[in-house]
Structure 1
Amino acid sequence: MSGLKLFNTRSGVTEVAPQLAEVEADVQDLVEAHMETMLGVRFLASEYSTGPVHGGRIDSLGIDENGAPVIVEYKRATDPGVINQGLFYMSWLMDHRTEFQALVRERLGATAASQVLWSAPRLICVAGDFTRYDLHAVREHRHSIDLVRYRFFGNDHFGVETVATAVGRMSAPRVGRRRGTAKAQRAASADGAMTELHAALDEALLGLGEDITKVENRTYHAYQRLRNFACLCPPQKTKLLVYLKVDPKATDLVPGFTRDVTGLGHHGTGDLEVQVRTERDLERAQELFRLSYAAA
């Protein structure tokens, strides 16, 4: 996987050779049992039938932390048809939204079913490897597609690596000019400064890697690889709030800049809140952004 080698150092140094699964079901069973940890997706159903007319079975159905529907397809080794197969099922899914929402309601409750994000459905293909044609095809599609390569390392280790991602970015709304009293103009100036800071923060998060997808939710913007690594809330009057997947207990918290929100209600995902008021705050938040990105 990207030339990375794994060694056991308990008694000397012994390389742990990567291996493919003996059968496809070994990969599917393992990922489904730990889907939220591995992919950031809540598991809904396995081998889901698309009915007698469509005549297929979706390997795994899930929903990610932003509420987007997720189809996961598995292949033991390399299969040039995996993307087309997944897109075939995605077409079925978009035509059967009510059925999917009923499944979400049954598994996760009415609130989760009412918050399904139909603007950003995802396809995740997990396979032993992919062809160069697969890598090219992903970048040509408008759908959100992740190609994930897996390997078993001995009996106790399992690795996954995102090798390609279709990045869909929604354009930001235009900010019109405001005219009026001096008070209104000062308010507009403050809003403009916060809008500029918001744009700079957005650019900083997207600039961390080419494999980042930005998902616009009703209450926040999520920046994700396979999983969210940052959630940016709409600008407040004097600050921006970003939530990161960084352990607050491993961070030197600074009052007015970083806060542990473990167990506290907030929009987006992540237990570390970062408050950005100035360009200086944005600069000193960069290392926290990189830590969260690396962990996603």
Structure 2
Amino acid sequence: MNENVINQGLYYLDWLLDHKAEFELMTLRKFGQSIADNIDWSSPRLLCIAGNFTKYDEHAVQQINRNIELYQYKHYLGGFLMLDLVNATTAQTVYIEESPIDRTQKSNTKTFKTVSDYLDQANEQLTDRFENIKSFMIALGDDVQMKTLKYYIAFKRIKNFACVEVHPQSNSILVYLKVDPTTVTLEQGFTRNVTNIGHYGTGDLEIRINNDEDLEKAKYFIEKSYDIS
């Protein structure tokens, strides 16, 4: 049983939550504002990696209100290592009612639309196209997880392999992938190298999906990003 591994991980996770401000400041100083703004500190997750987990381990993490993922590793000939997702739990968020003062302060603060706001504004055609992209990515494997962040939607295995933005104004969807743009024949209006261009999410290859034909072409690159993540 790996109870000690899980308990030790929870200790460091709670320590991070208690010192979140210090981590945010350290990240800002080391990597700059654009990268710091893209990190979602609201719900950190704990990854426990071990040779095996018991049914008790899986049951135990289900009782803990934390984002916890259990990965079992396996060694293969040739030096290959595989990580297999055994169990994943998601913490339940508790919402606290805002006071009238809080609401007044928020109303006087400039706000920016989130990816959820843009999805609500999307027409039926754009919404259907997003649902098709989402279904395709989730069907790539049992280890795929989707997380809606403030400005984009992340699809990940152990790490992100695709970050999706929805833009109702241009009726398009932007997908950022972990694919080396120098290995791709870039097509104007469809693919773009954003290695040195600031953007939300992670990935150096930008794909702009304007129609169903673009979506079909994008699937090859999405699979490629999934395979190497």
> TM-score surpassing 0.5?
yes
Matched, 1:95 2:18: yes
Match of 2:137 among 202, 205, 223: 205
SS of 1:233's equivalent in the other structure is: strand
The answer to whether the 8 Å contact 2:51/2:73 transfers is yes
Structural mapping, 1:189-228, within 5 Å? 191-228=123-160
Secondary structure, in 3 states, of the residue corresponding to 1:285?
A: helix
Question: In the alignment, does 2:52 pair up with 1:129?
Answer: yes
Q: Return closer, same or farther for 1:142/1:200 CA change in 2, 3 Å cut-off.
A: farther
Q: CA shift at 1:152, angstroms?
A: 7.1
Percent identity of equivalent pairs: 37
1:245 is displaced (CA, Å) by 1.0
1:246 Cα shift?
1.7
Tell me the CA shift for residue 239 of structure 1: 1.2
| Separation in 2, partners of 1:222, 1:287 | 18
Specify whether residues 130 and 208 from structure 1 end up closer, same or farther in structure 2 by C-alpha distance, changes over 3 A only: same
The amino acid of 2:224's aligned partner reads: L
Instruction: Give 2:83's aligned residue.
Output: 161
Deviations 1:43-86 (A, max 9, x none): xxxxxxxxxxxxxxxxxxxxxxxxxxxxxxxxxxx623322332
1:245 alignment partner AA: K
1:244 CA displacement: 0.9
1:145 and 2:145 are equivalent in the alignment:
no
Partner of 2:167: 235
Of the three residues 195, 208, 213, the one matched with 1:280 is 213
1:115–1:197 Cα change, 3 Å: closer
Query: How far off is 1:271 after superposition?
Result: 1.8
User: Secondary structure of the equivalent of 2:83?
Assistant: strand
Amino acid at match of 1:238: N
Distance 1:217 1:228 in 2: 12
Q: Mean Cα displacement is larger for which, 220-229 or 260-269? A: 260-269
Query: Who is 2:189 aligned against?
Result: 256
Q: Secondary structure at the match of 2:147?
A: strand
Answer whether contact 2:176 2:206 (CA < 8 A) is retained: yes
Q: Unmatched 5+ residue regions in structure 1? A: 1-77, 177-187
- Pair 225,191 (structure 1): closer, same or farther in 2 beyond 3 Å: same
What TM-score does the superposition give when structure 1 sets the normalisation length?
A: 0.56
Contact 2:119 2:166 in 1 (8 A): no
Describe the shift of the 1:97–1:265 C-alpha distance in structure 2 as closer, same or farther (beyond 3 A): closer
Q: Given that residues 168 and 213 in structure 1 are in contact (C-alpha distance below 8 angstroms), is that contact kept between their aligned partners in structure 2?
A: no
**Cα distance in 1 for residues equivalent to 2:187 and 2:37:** 37
Taking the aligned partners of 2:61 and 2:223, their CA distance within structure 1 comes to 25
CA contact (8 A) 2:70 2:88 kept: no
Task: Give RMSD over aligned pairs.
Answer: 3.5
- Find the aligned partners of 2:224 and 2:39 in 1 and give their Cα distance: 29
Rounded to whole Å, the distance in 1 between the matches of 2:50 and 2:165 is 35
- Determine if contact 1:80/1:131 at 8 Å carries over to the other structure: no
CA contact (8 A) 1:167 1:213 kept: no
Per-residue CA deviation, residues 139-163 of structure 1 (Å, 9 max, x unaligned), is 6655332333446789x95735143
Q: How far apart are the structure 1 equivalents of 2:119 and 2:75?
A: 50
Q: Give CA-to-partner distance per residue, 1:175-229, whole Å, 9 cap, x none.
A: 77xxxxxxxxxxx8x7332122222222222222222222333322111111110
Query: Which protein is bigger by CA-based radius of gyration?
Result: 1
The whole-number CA distance in structure 2 between the counterparts of 1:256 and 1:114 is 27
Distance change in 2, residues 1:109/1:259 (3 Å): closer
Work out the CA distance in 2 between the residues paired with 1:257 and 1:112: 25
